[in-house]
Amino acid sequence: MSTLVKKLSKGLGANFICQAVNIGMQLINVPLFLHFWSKEEYGVWLMLSAVPIYFLMMDGGIVAAAMNSITMAAAKKDLKEADRIFQSAFSITTLLNVILLALSVAIIPFINNGILGSIENKFALIFLIVSTLLHLYSGLFDSIYRAADKYASGTVIFQLSGILQLLFGIIALALSSSIFWVAFAYLAGKVLYSFLLLLYVTKKYPEFHWRFSLARLKEFKPLLAPGVSWMMFRFADGLTIQGATILVGSILGGPAVALFNVYRTISRLMLQMINALGNSLWPEFSRLFGLGEVQRLKSLATKSTFGVVGVGVVLSVIVFFTSPILLKYWTHGKIEFDSSIMIAMLIYTLMTLTWYIPKVALAASNTIGTLSTINIFTAALSILIAFFGGKEIGVVGVIGGLAVGEIVIAIFAYQYAKRQMIKSIIVTESKNNDNE
């Protein structure tokens, strides 16, 4: 077995373990919280917990771009350059965290409406925000493990954060049943985890320094464009996922939304499995690009794309034939099986898979560029087509409109990836000739 296959196998295993743990935590969460809290209290907790999630997007994708650049520099054995990028990203993240925390502390006390009508909930929200801001550093920890070629180990270690926070939260829930103390416990778990991980990583990988002395503006500028591009991709994903839900509700009503979301959830189960492969491939793409081995990157991306689509077809068949039973027991028979809707949803998901690997390869090499802008326009176009399709033929028309958008962006993605690969090959060959 080749070294690459071994690393990908470990990465896949780590991602599947983490997915299993996440599912287990979600299954534990609901009954435990509802055992100690009323539905109203649990609802307040969910709303408070949802607010800090938006803070995760505030870094503008710069940490993700820095992670790629650090991995590339480490692949070339240029650890000094990797450390300079690391310290620059650490400086930016710290500055951003200070600003966001200051704004939160300045604004939240003056909001007296809704769930923030009590002092307890205000403090709880601030605790949850601080916990989320600490999570912004996770990309930097991840970059160290990727640079050390220990992606799988890092993935499993990062999962411990959520486990520790949940454990602390459950203890606080059992002892006090107070939203204030549960939020504080979540923060305490995050602080303890971050502190212990920092001690371990600092000792294990002393070549990376958690300080600001090597931070330079020139290291920040190259990260801005790929970072913003990646954030635009995430925005486009939100537009199609959340936008489609709103669209279905506005033109077809609440029951259609429930049906649409349940069918989409079932069809996207295979996307979660494919994400495990994409996440495992990401550091390898970055490493190959950093080494200038663009032909190997292209070959790996091509083989992975065929593999993903092939697996997607097989999983689609399995999902189609098992979904009637799944719908019967999962929804207690309230949502019936409709073969035309399920087929349309599976085709839509397969169209998403066709360009998934090229997107990962471009993102991992910080060459995503203008494709992100095209993706936003395509997402908006798909929503527009879905609107007219939904008006004419209902849910299947909405899904058809979304599928058309995926086909269009897939065509653009392949052409764009091809041009970027050719450009990178030319640059690499030019550098090799200069070295000779």
Residue 1 above 80 pLDDT? no
Question: Does residue 177 share a domain with residue 242?
Answer: no
pLDDT at residue 198 tops 90: yes
Instruction: Examine the pLDDT at 350 and tell me if it is beyond 90.
Output: yes
How high is the pLDDT of residue 426?
Answer: 57
- Over residues 324-340, the mean pLDDT reads 85
Q: What is the per-residue pLDDT for 9?
A: 87
| Nearest residue to 55 via CA among 112, 105, 1, 96 | 96
What pLDDT was estimated at residue 239? 82
Q: What angle do CA 331, 315, 319 make, to 5 degrees?
A: 20
170 and 251 in a common domain: no
Inform me whether the pLDDT recorded for 367 exceeds 80: yes
Looking at the domain assignment, is residue 351 inside a domain? yes
Distances from the Cα of 223 to the Cαs of 69, 79, 232, 278, 280, in angstroms?
Answer: 8, 18, 14, 21, 22
- Domain annotation covers residue 283: yes
Using pLDDT thresholds of 50, 70 and 90, give the confidence band for residue 35: confident
Mean pLDDT of 30-41: 82
The Cα–Cα gap between 71 and 66 comes to 8
> How far apart are the C-alpha atoms of 314 and 250, rounded to whole Å?
34
Note whether 157 and 295 are same-domain residues: no
What pLDDT does 241 receive?
Answer: 83
> Is pLDDT above 80 for 433?
no
For residue 27, the model assigns a pLDDT of 67
Domain annotation covers residue 119: yes
What is the share, in percent, of the chain residues with pLDDT greater than 90?
Answer: 42
In a domain, 190, yes or no: yes
Average pLDDT for 191-215: 92
Q: What is the pLDDT of residue 377?
A: 92
In the predicted structure, residue 37 carries a pLDDT above the cut 60: yes
Using CB atoms within 10 Å of the CB of residue 330, give its burial: 0 to 12 exposed, 13 to 18 middle, 19+ buried.
Answer: middle
* Winning range, highest mean pLDDT, from 45-59, 227-241, 283-297, 308-322: 308-322
56-73 mean pLDDT = 84
Q: What is the mean pLDDT of residues 58-62?
A: 76
Tell whether 82 and 174 lie within a shared domain. Answer: yes
Kindly report the average pLDDT of the chain as a whole number: 87
Mean pLDDT for 59-81 is 88
Read off the DSSP letter of residue 2: -
What pLDDT score does 430 carry?
52
Q: What is the mean pLDDT of residues 43-57?
A: 82
Is 106 within a domain?
A: yes
Q: What is the model's pLDDT at position 236?
A: 86
Rounded distance between C-alpha atoms, residue 209 and residue 237, angstroms: 35
Measured CA to CA, the distance from residue 84 to residue 90 in angstroms comes to: 10
The rounded distance, in Å, linking the Cα atoms of 194 and 242 is 32
- Interval 29-33 mean pLDDT: 79
Question: What's the pLDDT tens digit per position in 388-431?
Answer: 999 999 999 999 999 999 999 999 998 988 888 777 765 555 55
The pLDDT value recorded for residue 397 is: 94
Picking from 283, 288, 281, the residue whose alpha carbon sits closest to that of residue 428 is 288
pLDDT band at 195; cut points 50, 70, 90: very high
Tell me: pLDDT of 346 over 90.
yes
Q: Residues 161, 278: one domain? A: no
For residue 317, is it within any domain?
yes
Q: What is the DSSP string of 397-432?
A: HHHHHHHHHHHHHHHHHHHHHHHHHHHHHHHHHHHH
Structure-model confidence comparison of residues 20 and 60, the more confident one: 20
Q: Which residue has the higher pLDDT, 363 or 22?
A: 363
What integer is the mean pLDDT of 327-355? 89
Which value, to the nearest 10 degrees, does the dihedral of the CA atoms of residues 160, 165, 168, 171 take? -110
Tokens 């890092």 identify what position? 154
Burial annotation 332-352 (CB, 10 A radius, 16+ → b, else e): eeebeebeebbebbbbbbbbb
Q: What mean pLDDT comes out for the span 76-103?
A: 92
Q: Do 110 and 232 belong to one domain?
A: no
Per-residue pLDDT at 19 = 80
Residue that finishes a domain, picked among 185, 215, 245: 215
Highest mean pLDDT, choosing among 62-66, 173-177, 252-256, 381-385: 381-385
Shared domain for 229 and 205, answered yes or no, is no
Residue closest to 351 by CA, chosen among 385, 312, 319: 312
The reply to whether 189 and 281 lie within a common domain is no
Instruction: Answer with the one of 179, 195, 215 that is the final residue of a domain.
Output: 215
DSSP H helices, 37-150, are 39-50, 62-75, 79-107, 119-135, 138-147
Query: Are 270 and 319 within 8 A, CB to CB?
Result: yes
The single-letter DSSP state of residue 117 is G
Among candidate residues 267, 248, 210, the one with its CA nearest the CA of residue 91: 210
Name the residue type at position 318: I
Q: How large a percentage of the chain has pLDDT more than 70? A: 96
Q: Supply the DSSP symbol for 215.
A: -
Same domain, 323 and 200: no
Residue 435 lies in a domain: no
Please compute Rg for the chain using Cα positions: 23
Same domain, 81 and 171: yes
Q: Considering its fold, how many domains does the chain have in total?
A: 2
Q: Which domain holds residue 153?
A: 3-215
In angstroms, the Cα distances linking 257 to 245, 261, 264, 388 are 6, 6, 10, 17
Residue range 110-124: mean pLDDT, rounded: 88
Up-side HSE of residue 283: CA atoms within 13 Å toward CB? 28
The neighbour count for residue 42, using CB atoms within 10 Å, is 16
Neighbours of 411 (CB within 10 A): 13
What's the average model confidence in pLDDT over 202-222? 86
The residue from 191, 215, 239 where one domain ends is 215
Greater pLDDT, 334 or 392: 392
Query: Does 240 reside within a domain?
Result: yes
What was the pLDDT predicted at 425? 61
The position carrying tokens 């299993």 is: 20
Same domain, 421 and 274: yes
Note whether 256 and 316 are same-domain residues: yes
Give the pTM. Answer: 0.82
